[in-house]
Amino acid sequence: MGKKKKTRVQFRKNRNHVGPQPDLTRKVRSDGVDSTELPSSERVSGKGDLSRYRTIIGVEEGEDGQWQRAVDENQTLAGRVTANRGTSFLVHTDDQRNFDCGVRRVVNTLAREQRNAVVVGDRVRLTQSGPAEGVIERVEPRHGTLSRKTRRGDHLLVANVDQVLIVVAAADPQFKPNLIDRYLISAELGGVRPIICVNKVDLVDPVRLQPFLGLYSQLGYEMLLVSVTQQKGIERLKRILRHRETVVTGQSGVGKSSLLNAVQPGMKLATGEVSEETRKGRHTTSNATLLELDFGGWVVDTPGVRQFQLSNIEPAEACGIFREFRPYLSRCKFSSCSHTHESGCQVKQAVDRDLIALTRYESYLKILNSDPE
Ligand SMILES: Nc1nc2c(ncn2[C@@H]2O[C@H](COP(=O)(O)OP(=O)(O)OP(=O)(O)O)[C@@H](O)[C@H]2O)c(=O)[nH]1
Ligand SMILES: [Mg+2]
Ligand SMILES: [Zn+2]
């Protein structure tokens, strides 16, 4: 495969836009491909339709306007990335086989801006290179993603999920409502429905969880209380997971893998003790893994992160999840109010009057400051 394969692709009719497409050149250049390799031609086809043809190195515009490699559907297999093995990916093909796959370099090049060319949950096309080996040739457009905004850009964790199960522990590790707000922002940014799951309720007096339950239910979030040890709430969790694609996220040691084992004992996921000294989990799960549920649906078990830091969150983005701020936003004195230090800020006034919970406002400030939790 030394030689670059050139592919002639037809672009979809381009929304009444007739002139040259500046985006193409920019995009391709930013991928480090020499633009002189991209002679272009345009022609008018029959019936007055304008079609656009360009000879490019195997890239085409996807339905969502993202750039994609053109691959021969007959020479490749469709599948789904089920695990990241560090240097390779495990792909489960639609014809029910498993392949250990590398990634074609151009796929990485095209994804440069996103940092993660391939993630668990991705729909891909691969060419077979051995009995159980292959090469990922293309990643299909994604929907429903979970990522963390970090200083170095977006760090994508998983793709193509409908909902995210945010797991916190009532105790051990310590219950931290602020963390939930961080996970809620990630869900909001990725367009996935969040569900808040409080595990280990056997360890506390349920009365202590009431204020918190009230707060988030009032904001309209689906919440559930579970205990793996007491087998409490497991049936409800199963109903929530059934026929959906769910990523399970939360700190290390909160019981993500334990919950999935309770839902489907056959999974036999490794679980670990919460270490005595640090009261933190030991990162028992080390890689995200996509697992099929035998009652319908898929789940992705993820490794807990020690610190869930979010960077570069704009006030407007944060306000997306701080729903209770909304009635006040338009009444702040300054239209660009960040609701942190400004005078005449109606959000701050609402906090003073207990119309907005102080814990949520503090959480908002921490997130804007990119404070570690
Ligand atoms: N008391 C109590 N302990 C639980 C419960 N669920 C899980 N645990 C314990 O919590 C510890 C951590 O569970 P894991 O399932 O490994 O946690 P995890 O979230 O998958 O952790 P990482 O894989 O490191 O991210 C284990 O010792 C479990 O037995 C529960 O409902 N109650
Ligand atoms: Mg785990
Ligand atoms: Zn304000």
Q: Which residues line ligand 1 (CB under 6 A)?
A: 199-200, 202-203, 227-229, 250, 252-258, 271-274, 281-285, 303-304
> Both 30 and 125 in a single domain?
no
**Minimum-distance ligand 1 atom for the alpha carbon of 281:** 24
Answer yes or no: do 191 and 281 share one domain. Answer: yes
**pLDDT at residue 27 above 80?**
no
CATH number of 84's domain: 2.40.50.140
Residue 7 has pLDDT above 50, yes or no: no
What number does the ligand 1 atom closest to the CA of 199 have?
Answer: 31
The pLDDT value recorded for residue 320 is: 79
Q: Do 284 and 197 sit in the same domain of this protein?
A: yes
Q: Is residue 46 part of a domain?
A: yes
Residues whose Cβ atom is located within 5 A of ion ligand 3: 332, 337, 339, 345, 347
The alpha helices in 47-117, defined as continuous H runs, are 105-110
Give the other-Cβ count within 10 Å of 142's Cβ. Answer: 20
What ligand is nearest to the CA atom of residue 303? 1
Judged by its nearest atom, the ligand closest to the C-alpha of residue 259 is 1
**With 90 as the cut, is the pLDDT of residue 87 above it?**
no
Average pLDDT over residues 17-24: 40
Residues 169 and 235 in one domain: yes
From 240, 253, 248, 239, select the one nearest 267 (Cα to Cα): 248
Specify the 3-state DSSP secondary structure of 120.
strand
Q: Which residues are paired to 43 by β-bridges?
A: 51
| Secondary structure (3-state) at 217 | helix
Q: Does residue 290 sit in the same domain as residue 199?
A: yes
Beta strand residue intervals within the chain, DSSP E: 7-11, 40-44, 50-56, 59-61, 67-69, 77-84, 89-93, 98-103, 123-128, 133-139, 146-150, 153-158, 163-169, 193-199, 222-225, 245-249, 289-292, 298-301
CA of 101 to the centre of ligand 1 (A): 31
- Number of folded domains that form the chain: 4
Quick one: average pLDDT of 95-120? 83
The pTM (predicted TM-score) of the whole model is 0.79
Whether residue 286 sits in one domain with residue 238: yes
How far apart, in Å, do the first and last CA atoms of the chain sit? 48
Ligand nearest to the CA of residue 273, numbered in listed order: 1
Q: Which residue has the higher pLDDT, 68 or 251?
A: 251
Measuring from atom 10 of ligand 1, which residue has the nearest CA? Answer: 255
Residue 159 lies in a domain: yes
Beta-carbon contacts of 253 under 8 Å, excluding residues fewer than 6 positions away, are 169, 172, 173, 272, 274, 280, 281, 282, 304
> DSSP assignment, residue 255?
S
Residues 35-47, mean pLDDT to the nearest whole number: 36
71 occurs within a structural domain: no
> Residue 135: how many CA atoms within 13 Å on its side-chain side?
11
pLDDT of residue 35: 33
Q: Whose CA is nearest to atom 16 of ligand 1?
A: 271
Range with the largest mean pLDDT of 5-19, 29-43, 114-128, 239-253 = 239-253
Q: What is the pLDDT of residue 25?
A: 38
Strands 298-301 and 222-225, by their bridges, are unpaired
Distance in angstroms (rounded) separating the CA atoms of residues 16 and 23: 15
Q: Give yes or no: residues 176 and 232 share one domain.
A: yes
Query: Do 325 and 319 form a contact (C-beta atoms < 8 A)?
Result: yes
197 assigned to some structural domain: yes
Tell me phi and psi for residue 47, to 5 degrees.
55, 25
61 has pLDDT over 70: no
* Residue 130 neighbours by CB distance under 10 Å: 9
Specify whether 128 is located in the same domain as 167.
Answer: no
Do 185 and 263 fall into the same domain? yes
53-67, 71-85, 112-126, 142-156, range with the lowest pLDDT: 53-67
Q: Which of 279, 301, 323 is the last residue of a domain?
A: 301
Confidence of residue 123 (pLDDT cuts 50, 70, 90): very high
297: left (phi over 0), alpha (psi -120 to 50) or beta: left
- Show the tokens assigned to 26: 């920019």
Domain coverage including residue 22: 7-59
pLDDT of residue 2: 39
Query: Tell me, what amino acid is at 359?
Result: T
Shared domain check, 191 and 101: no
Q: Find the angle CA(105)-CA(108)-CA(109) to the nearest 5 degrees.
A: 90
Over residues 117-132, mean pLDDT:
95
* Averaged pLDDT for residues 71-90: 90
H/E element holding 368? helix 358-368
For residue 72, pLDDT over 70 is answered with yes
Whether 169 and 272 share a structural domain? yes
Nearest ligand to the CA atom of 340: 3
The answer to whether residue 306 is domain-embedded is no
pLDDT, position 223 = 93
CATH code for the domain of 320? 1.10.40.50
| 2 belongs to a structural domain | no
Q: Whose CA is nearest to atom 2 of ligand 1?
A: 200
pLDDT at 44: 38
Per-residue pLDDT at 253 exceeds 70: yes
What is the Cα 31 distance to its own chain's centre? 23
State the Cα–Cα distance between residues 140 and 71, nearest whole angstrom. Answer: 11
- With the CA atoms of 100, 105, 110 and 112 taken in that order, what torsion angle do they form, in degrees rounded to the nearest 10? 90
| Ligand 1 atom closest to residue 228's alpha carbon, by position in its atom list | 31
Confidence of residue 349 (pLDDT cuts 50, 70, 90): very high
Tell me how far the alpha carbon of residue 168 lies from the centroid of ligand 1, in angstroms. Answer: 10
Tell me how far apart the alpha carbons of residues 49 and 182 are, in angstroms, rounded to a whole number.
49
> Chain-wide mean pLDDT for the chain?
80
Residue 150 lies in a domain: no
| 257: its two tokens | 């893998």
- Kindly state whether residues 130 and 167 are assigned to the same domain: no
Residue 289, domain CATH: 3.40.50.300
Cα(188) to ligand 3 centroid in Å equals 21
Mutate to test the pocket of ligand 1, among 157, 198, 258, 264 (most ligand atoms within 8 A of CB): 258
3-state secondary structure of 362: helix
Question: Which atom of ligand 1 is least distant from the CA of 270?
Answer: 16
- Would 144 be classed as within a structural domain? no
- Is the confidence at residue 204, as pLDDT, over 80? yes
Nearest CA to ligand 1 atom 3: 200
